Amino acid sequence: MFRPDLWEKPIVVLSNNDGNIIARSNEAKALGIKMGEPYFKIESFLKKNRVKVFSSNYTLYGDMSHRVMSVLQHLEPEVEIYSIDEAFISLPAGKTFDLTEHGHNIRNMVRQWTGIPVSIGFAPTKTLAKLANRVAKKNPQYQGVFDLTAQGDADEILARIEVGDVWGIGRQYSKKLNSRGIFSARDLKYANDTWIRKQLTVMGLRTVWELRGIPCIPIEDAPAAKKGIITSKSFGRPVTSLAELQEAVATYVSRAAEKLRSQQSIANSLHVFLATNVFKPEKPQYSKSIMVTLPEPTASTSVLIKHALKGLKELYRPGYDFQKAGVMLAEIIPASCRQRSLFDPIKSDKDLMNALDRINRKWGANTVRYAVSGFKKSWTFRRDHLSRAYTTRWDQLPVVKASLPGI
């Protein structure tokens, strides 16, 4: 959108630390580039074929996702934001209109207001809607919109979709289903309920019923609160010193605590983990975690950092090249469930955290942070091919040069 010079050019996006390919344009797919391919293995191939390479730019992706979701919420009364690039829309009951035309209207509006092309699939259940969306995305003749309800008998469509591509059916379930002779979404639709419930649990049975057009998974107005929050990243280079590990862990705790507060929750415990690079077996290996039970449940960044760093000191061993560290907040409960004492300092701490979150929301992440999380952060993951923050930084806004004919 911000680089029209790349239109119809092969493009790939890399994972954290510029490790693996996690997104490909159609032109890149046509070159045979596989999803998950390690970047270092095909770097020369990419250069030879003039493939444009970008590091993951989560700030830009998050902002553009917010814009797309805002347009959907403006156009439709009931929208569930499922992920950064997916949403479910519940259409008003009893309202009759041409769904394909309606889908194109939504698609055109999103494209006009944000510049982002989207695919839309209509169906009576969420599971079928995801499959309809897949058909819309992979078949150019539908121009990004596919109405499964207009197909009469959907079995012909379902028969062409592998069972592993059905929402909620992972690799392990696929193997189990294949051994039973279930290879397509259509096969799964007509599978035996008793066997499915025994092998795939009640969640698998719901998936089967959804394939039959029976709604079992409702639209959620707000995302369910997470029961565990993990923040972890690989380092851009091997880290050996405790001081740098403390910076990293404090940074991860700060982010996890922010997420915890955003869902109005508190944690009773936390886990800290360290690991060396398993892909370098010639180096000494170390991988351990530690659980820290908190004196009382909290969402305070300062309290969580304090206990996480205590756990880190117990974990740390000199002489290792650490490649990854992380933090998980666990035993999460609603903040309203916290028992308070008469002399509890929670009020002032809560006010401080609210102020911290407000400032960082307004002026950008880490505008205000705890000093222990560091400033230079030379350990952070690599992003050598990072695109500009076109929508969130004044100094990186795109510049348009225009002139009138004859002037």
Looking at per-residue pLDDT, the higher value among 119 and 379 belongs to 119
pLDDT in tens, 77-98: 899 999 999 999 999 877 778 9
Cα separation, 384 vs 53, in Å, equals: 10
pLDDT of residue 1: 78
How many other β-carbons are positioned within 10 Å of the β-carbon of residue 390?
17
pLDDT in tens, 18-29: 889 999 998 999
What number is the average pLDDT over the span 159-169? 95
What number is the average pLDDT over the span 186-195? 96
Cα separation, 69 vs 134, in Å, equals: 19
Beta strand residue intervals within 98-176, DSSP E: 120-122, 145-147
Of 90, 149, 127, the C-alpha closest to 208 is 127
- Give the ranges where 216-286 is alpha helix by DSSP (H): 242-262
What number is the average pLDDT over the span 59-88? 92
Q: Is the pLDDT of residue 390 over 80?
A: yes
Q: Judge whether 156 counts as a catalytic residue.
A: no
Cα separation, 86 vs 116, in Å, equals: 13
pLDDT in tens, 140-155: 999 999 999 998 788 9
Q: Is the pLDDT of residue 15 over 80?
A: yes
Cα separation, 222 vs 79, in Å, equals: 9
Confidence of residue 407 (pLDDT cuts 50, 70, 90): low
pLDDT in tens, 278-333: 888 999 999 999 999 999 999 999 999 999 999 999 999 999 999 999 999 999 99
pLDDT of residue 5: 86
Question: What's the chain's average pLDDT?
Answer: 91
pTM for the model stands at: 0.77
CA distances from 86 to 82, 118, 164, 262 (A): 5, 10, 19, 21
pLDDT of residue 283: 94
User: What is the pairing mode between strands 287-298 and 265-276?
Assistant: antiparallel
Q: Is 331:268 a contact under the CB 8 Å cutoff? A: yes
What is the C-alpha end-to-end distance of the chain, expressed in Å? Answer: 28
What number is the average pLDDT over the span 367-384? 85
pLDDT in tens, 334-347: 998 776 665 555 66
List the catalytic residue out of 86, 162, 220, 296: 86
User: Which of the listed ranges 260-264, 382-386, 395-399 does the model predict with the highest average pLDDT?
Assistant: 260-264
Structure tokens of 181?
A: 């002779």
Instruction: Please name each of the domains of the chain with its CATH number.
Output: 61-211 (3.30.70.270), 229-373 (3.30.1490.100)
Confidence of residue 71 (pLDDT cuts 50, 70, 90): very high
Q: Is the pLDDT of residue 392 over 90?
A: no
Q: Is 303:310 a contact under the CB 8 Å cutoff? A: no
CA distances from 143 to 135, 320, 341 (A): 10, 54, 61
Q: Is 382:17 a contact under the CB 8 Å cutoff? A: yes
CA angle (34, 36, 40) in 5-degree steps: 90
Of 217, 236, 231, 227, the C-alpha closest to 273 is 231
pLDDT of residue 344: 59
Rounded to 5 degrees, φ, ψ at 131 are -70, -40
pLDDT of residue 103: 96
Q: Is 300:257 a contact under the CB 8 Å cutoff? A: yes
CA angle (383, 388, 394) in 5-degree steps: 135
